[in-house]
Structure 1
């Protein structure tokens, strides 16, 4: 059977047909039966077809983030939007808060005594007030449901309360369901609650298991499935909970609540009501931490985000690396954990007493033989994940990106009849989101629920750790932001509403540029903003100078003179005539103290170093208004990965590298786990900087931890890996981190003037010599110390073909892991950007497979393909002699080749080029 998808009145229709269909002359692609993930259908249509069918993706800049409340929450967990658009909020530490829509204010609404903090050092509790929702008939009965961990009893509990006069009346509590939960351990609580069609209530529960290693043991978990069933180590065995049919942990439950607070279980839950070894409340089992769930209000399909384990790589002894999942349950089922993950990738049985492994678990017939299991040994067949992705890039779902992982499932969108707040394009799409990565995606599904594709949603909107998402009675999306920081009150925590502007759109800010971010008094601020209005309107600019001072201009430039010392947060709000506005990021400036200046000078060629030949360098520091303390100069050198020779700025000094590193950090997910000055779930960046100041290899060490992840250095909670991050970017982040400590320059690893002698044989994978210098001043009255850094890159004089990116006419060839460039059939060129040719006498070429070739002629030209000719050679293997270039400038260098007797047979390959001195 073949499946065909077509669009009609913006609704996806599944048709079964043995032939192609033509509608108004438009050909539709016939697909084979859907697999997981299925082929992307709609995105393959050409623009003309999309326009005719009216399926163009709506402009993302028409979605705007309306802040309802911000900065008043401490660990918010879930929201419930009431019929009058008031919003009830639960906070992990037990508080209920109520946002009043009419007055736009937040008020206390009650408090439960909850278990939210352990008495065990260095162990974080995740329990507390975990979830909240309202009864489908709330307008009549005022029932509110809460899932929480009562202080004095080791259970997690579902209770019903009444909301009367904007207060949760604790005396009205009706306990509906509760189950044992082991305490004084970390982690995994679940805790999301949601109603589906027919008044059925779904409750997610975590596996209540410790993902970390047992202390002082040889054979430990290492981030894989917790299957340690040794006596006394119950918390390290998720088969006792998630894999146990007789336990409500690690499940999604489904019940029908009666008016008196009792409940019944549907007949089509996973297990029969009279099975002594299975709980009838279980709808879905095999869950690790189904932290946020949602129910399709039309189909009844259940969706949830499953937060996965921490292993970064597959292991032949243990099984697959960690994956997060977004799952779909059309009916009751077992979703595998802790025996399977992702697309039913199996873990292996493992003996924690001797480190030997057994067979991989069988998803078709899983067996739970743990001595900690009190339920059935033979489990239901495991179901694969709907969407799954690791720390690194996903081949199956590349749109999700890479980095830390915390998958969440939002609602399936349905517009309100006659007054849909969002385009009909999104009708029936599942919205998924990421707590750490901060994105939201819209998932297109077939009518039967099969996955078709995903695409960015709200891609122009920045979210601070979204932790819950709900469609309100007005059909609009409400998002709860936990804020970027764990177990604390975050200033960016809040509730936002997503509006769609069919008409006037807000301005778009590209960049706020401040000419100087520091200076002595009087300090003149010169700021420019790059902004445009999508509708072409004139703009007004309101400049916020901090401390209540605002200035308005009609041009995107602003100047102001500060006469009082201090740190000032500078930002700008850009407003159009319709009062739509956007705000820039905040850039701190410092009046009364100026960043020092750090310069690195070398002698000779400024692009290359030559193996075995010393590089003479000198670092000079100036600090306006202060005497330079030479003991605070910090200098280091290292060899790092290759740079793109089509655009590398070799020899150019990269001023203010710490700001570059900070910018890269902010764009990554690092800020979800770390703060600059205060501890979050991970250490403060300043703590890291202080800890490793005496380590001359600190930058390399920290950057490796950023890429590979870290575990056990600062506590139990592992820091996520970033395998897709470039080594150069990780180094820049590490350099910024290392610049934060006041002791950063007390022990320079190199003198201010000296020599660095490169090795005689260069590491092909790390051919760039990086010289880094930084200086931290002593600050001034009322102002903190300011740090400036500089970095100089020198490249090995031999450039491997893999690093030659600017090419024309050449073709790439890979053999045994080595890359080369096949010479052109007729002619072509290699371009190297911004090269210093001081002291360069010739350019050599290393060529393979050249025997019997008719040969090529070479030319070297400056700045353009047909620019000044500075060198020629008659054939392969002959060095290209270079006329002296003495202007000490950086030039684009073109190496042109032309075949003498063109032929496509047995063309040679270029392995590398070498710049040689006199």
Structure 2
């Protein structure tokens, strides 16, 4: 049994450098024994302290699935084999702040109907937004229809289903721990849900259905498994799991395990919504050329390096401003990297000397570790280590190139922000490549995709911009209904920090600057942000690094309402609440006082 551990500094040596090996110790966790009863929570009695605890909740107020009991046992078995303990219950009174605090994730296992009262709902919302995990399985989407927050958390509510039958599942994301073990498609038998809405714009879709492979699909684009960050917490949902046989299927059990581990923050993934990308590699190497010695094998839509030192580069097109995403995995202390911004060349060393390499390596010096721009700028190692999956597991990079600015995101977390000032190099136009470093260095890549950008965020100065002194357009935003101020929860400056209302106190986490481009900035560099670019009523509002996108733009209206540009909906205090800590969201503009704000 493997306990997830935050790895030591990861990195790699670039082009022709020498590796400096650093010995790292990996801990091995022991077996956790679990004991739980479905009807009532009974604390498990592990033989040692397990890595984390999970609560399985299976209360039903409508249809009851006969697979619930075997599902509970399957999750217990997964816990015993993977170092987490499991409590199971159908008693909704356990949804209180003190009890939920002991769990890293809560699994809604084919719950149906209205299963939590208002007080329990509030406790669960506080738990997830404060960093807890949610896992929904199958009929979890047939639950709590009158609770808007749950609809946002779960992603999309159930609408209908045809008869149980075989269908083809497309595995769109093969880096997530829930799906990395699967091929491009998966043929299986289940009860295939149609949903009331398509969640794709608000979640990262991991799996979708090929509606031509079965009868009764009614969505066209048909997501079936997905994940997304939820304020400081995480959410995972799969529509699979109707049948008892599902829970003895090793592929489904691995999917379920990956979802639980993601929600519990025992493994990481980029679960931000993703649309508009074009595949450069997803099985076909058309348009790619090998430079230098060595090569990549191409099997099961996976490129695996061998020999070197060479480079496989996409020679079909140069790119200017873009978001490049790719999934990568190392074997042991291997060495590779992603090279961007170089001119056409058959010499990998020329590419390294004229472009910039973003490192992938398990150990090295700080400016040559994973996430570093090789030889130029080290990664934020604290952020990197928190976001990183260790060798043997998949990770996802996003390289965001805008002018001479290169931002590096690892599993959805920004770990580097570099501005090129070397006159011999330029990021403003060039090719992209992946490195095969040498004999014994084995790196694998999947799903290389790109989104070309038409709007470019101005390149910042290399030094941080200080928090501005309050001016005429910097002030508090006071809610008309509550008299309380728009407030970043806990004065956090982390991406994804929740925004709520709180007693006005004049502190920096309540000072909002309106910019000419329509942003509402706090702390100088963070923007008021609609989570995942969502447009649905109840979508959370939080803070995130300013990026110029429409989900960070707002209109301050003459009636004192504030409208989100991306959705046309109003900045709204949830549930018309007035208490400290009440979350804000977007909602259809109603002219109500909980949607009105005044300066000062």
- Normalization by structure 1: what TM-score? 0.22
TM-score, normalized by length of structure 2? Answer: 0.30
Q: Greater helix share, 1 or 2?
A: 2
State which structure, 1 or 2, has the greater radius of gyration over its C-alpha atoms: 1
Higher strand share: 1
